């Protein structure tokens, strides 16, 4: 955590969170890795004239490994029952190991930071038989640490042997966590461990039970995917039940559980999710172009469900640009319910994603919050004529990227470029590895 203090001045607006926004002329103070109410006097001044400040974005659902498998033939706009085996064949052909995991995670985390994502939740689902799972997980964590991004590593499972998946999760927890760590958060808040099967379409009750036991033992959050296209179909064919019926029966509808996707949910199911205290993650950049559905976000929120935002993986979305997904979420929301406002979607990408991770210090800029800050330049031609610069962050300038990004009070992006690494070198590293293994 950095001991350097910064004082951001001249901003057009500062989005604090919880509906609080500071108008032009207000200042933001960060010091010792957190937000402070008052300056001490020795902070370095950062001129934010013509900019809007927001909390760092939180990508609450990603599959970082898939950054190595984008736009593969046969994976665009196809049924999930076709997509899943096509991706599995690609994993097998290239070979998933710690080297690939590090290279793909480096690309995914770097891409995210350059787009304002200061925290990414990586639901890792691919564990080849015989692979060193601790080495694979550690390679992913080390890649994020080197770049200065926060990582939530979700030890997932997808058709894995339940006993092996649980033993792997236990090994990772034992290696990473100490008795003093809470909610699986370690390394000064930069790393968090969670667990989560892919969904009832791929994993039996035993996997959910055993990973749930590991979560209970170590105080970890639980995450899974529910009610996408294939999930509903397989649950009906295999069990004669709906996915959420099974999750509820298996103890996986609870306040420590976050459900990704939720494209096909009924009003009764929404009420049940809310009653159980579970949270949700919307992933429109995956589900909409693939034709897998649109989550009824407004209905979920109206029921009291916290709804975060995620990109899902490169195998379906092909990008880790959460701001683009936020804009898409806003644009398509009116097709399935009340339209979402820009501020509502911004909250999803920050505070609501943090709630699903159990991280009260993330996603806002109130005093005491983690000093994760994005500076967005709104002085250019794309923002000319914009009456509301905060709403304009999403409505104007598609593909917008931040000027500067700070994580835990440390600059990781300045003037649109990574500070912690050479992004071109990171990209070339993955390209070379894939070429060596026969993909490119």
> What DSSP state is assigned to residue 159?
S
Predicted pLDDT at 256:
98
The reply to whether 11 and 136 lie within a common domain is no
**How many of the other CB atoms lie within 10 Å of CB of 19?**
8
Tally the domains of the chain: 2
Predicted pLDDT at 2:
46
Phi and psi for 308 in degrees, rounded to 5?
Answer: -90, -170
Antiparallel, parallel or unpaired: β 57-62 and 51-55:
unpaired
| Contacts for 230 with CB less than 8 Å, ≥ 6 apart | 79, 80, 81, 84, 201
Placement of tokens 């995450």 in the chain:
223
The reply to whether 284 and 414 lie within a common domain is no
Phi and psi for 227 in degrees, rounded to 5?
Answer: 65, 35
CA distance 374 to 417: 13
CA distance 45 to 98: 41
Antiparallel, parallel or unpaired: β 404-407 and 373-377:
antiparallel
- Do 208 and 201 touch, CB atoms closer than 8 A? no
Q: What is the CATH number of the domain that holds 297?
A: 3.20.20.140
The reply to whether 64 and 210 lie within a common domain is yes
The reply to whether 274 and 398 lie within a common domain is no
The reply to whether 304 and 339 lie within a common domain is yes
436 part of a folded domain: no
Tell which of 336, 357, 378 closes a domain.
Answer: 357
Produce one character per residue of 233-244: b if its CB has 16 or more CB atoms within 10 Å, e if not.
bbbeeeeeebbb
The reply to whether 43 and 147 lie within a common domain is no
Q: Among 318, 208, 312, which Cα is nearest to 263's?
A: 312
Predicted pLDDT at 230:
87
CA distance 35 to 408: 9
| Residue 75: alpha-carbon gap to chain centroid | 22
Antiparallel, parallel or unpaired: β 117-124 and 57-62:
parallel
Placement of tokens 């998933």 in the chain:
96
Q: What is the CATH number of the domain that holds 19?
A: 2.30.40.10
- Do 191 and 150 touch, CB atoms closer than 8 A? yes
The reply to whether 31 and 93 lie within a common domain is no
* Residue 214 structural domain: 57-357
434 part of a folded domain: no
The reply to whether 195 and 323 lie within a common domain is yes
pTM score, whole prediction:
0.97
Predicted pLDDT at 130:
85
The reply to whether 234 and 244 lie within a common domain is yes
| Contacts for 251 with CB less than 8 Å, ≥ 6 apart | 208, 209, 212
100 part of a folded domain: yes
Tokens representing 306? 């916290």
The reply to whether 188 and 323 lie within a common domain is yes
pLDDT tens per residue, the chain (440 residues)? 445 899 999 999 999 999 999 999 999 999 999 999 999 999 999 999 999 999 999 999 999 999 999 999 999 889 988 999 999 999 999 999 999 999 999 999 999 999 999 999 999 999 998 889 999 999 999 999 999 999 999 999 999 999 999 999 999 999 999 999 999 999 999 999 999 999 999 999 999 999 999 999 999 999 999 998 889 999 999 999 999 999 999 999 999 999 999 999 999 999 999 999 999 999 999 999 999 999 999 999 999 999 999 999 988 999 999 999 999 999 999 999 999 999 999 999 999 999 999 999 999 999 999 999 999 999 999 999 999 999 999 999 999 999 999 999 999 999 999 999 999 999 999 999 999 998 65
Q: Among 228, 237, 353, which Cα is nearest to 292's?
A: 228
The reply to whether 80 and 109 lie within a common domain is yes
List the Cα angle 39/45/47 in 5-degree steps: 125
């Amino acid at each position: 955590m950095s001991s350097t203090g910064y004082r951001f001045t001249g901003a057009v607006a500062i989005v604090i969170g919880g509906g609080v926004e500071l108008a032009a002329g207000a200042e933001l103070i960060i010091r010792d890795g957190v937000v402070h109410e008052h300056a001490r006097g020795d902070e370095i001044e950062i001129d934010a004239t013509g900019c809007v400040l927001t909390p760092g974005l939180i990508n609450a659902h990603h599959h970082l490994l898939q950054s190595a498998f984008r736009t593969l033939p046969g994976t665009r706009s196809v049924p999930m029952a076709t997509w899943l085996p096509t991706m599995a064949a690609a994993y097998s052909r290239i070979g998933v190991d710690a080297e690939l995991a590090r290279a793909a995670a480096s690309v995914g985390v770097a891409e995210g930071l350059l787009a304002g994502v200061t925290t990414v939740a990586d639901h890792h689902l691919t564990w080849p038989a015989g692979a060193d799972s601790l080495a694979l997980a550690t390679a992913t964590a080390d890649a994020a640490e080197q770049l200065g991004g926060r990582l939530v590593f979700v030890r997932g499972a997808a058709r894995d042997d339940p006993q092996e998946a649980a033993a792997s999760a236990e090994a990772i927890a034992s290696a990473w966590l100490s008795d003093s760590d809470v909610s699986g958060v370690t390394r000064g808040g930069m790393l968090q461990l969670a667990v989560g099967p892919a969904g009832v379409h791929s994993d039996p009750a035993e996997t959910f039970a055993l990973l749930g036991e590991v979560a209970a033992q170590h105080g970890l959050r639980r995450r899974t995917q529910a009610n996408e296209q294939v999930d509903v179909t397989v649950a009906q064919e295999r069990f004669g039940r709906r996915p959420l019926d099974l999750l509820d029966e298996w103890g996986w509808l609870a306040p420590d559980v976050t459900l990704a996707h939720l494209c096909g949910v009924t009003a009764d199911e929404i009420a049940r999710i809310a009653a159980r205290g579970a949270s949700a993650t919307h992933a429109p950049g995956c589900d909409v172009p693939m034709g897998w559905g649109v989550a009824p976000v407004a209905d979920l929120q109206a029921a009291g469900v916290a709804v975060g935002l995620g990109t899902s993986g490169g195998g379906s979305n092909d990008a880790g640009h959460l701001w683009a997904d936020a804009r898409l979420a806003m644009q398509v929301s009116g097709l399935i319910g009340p339209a979402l406002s820009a501020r509502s979607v911004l909250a999803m990408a920050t505070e609501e994603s943090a709630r699903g991770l159990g991280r009260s210090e993330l996603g806002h800029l109130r005093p005491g919050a983690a000093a994760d800050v994005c500076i967005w330049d709104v002085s250019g031609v794309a923002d000319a004529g914009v009456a509301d610069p905060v709403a304009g962050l999403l409505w104007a300038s598609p593909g917008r990227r931040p000027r500067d990004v700070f994580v835990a009070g440390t600059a990781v992006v300045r003037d649109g470029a990574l500070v912690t690494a050479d992004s071109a070198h990171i990209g070339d590293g993955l390209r070379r590895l894939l070429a060596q293994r026969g993909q490119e």
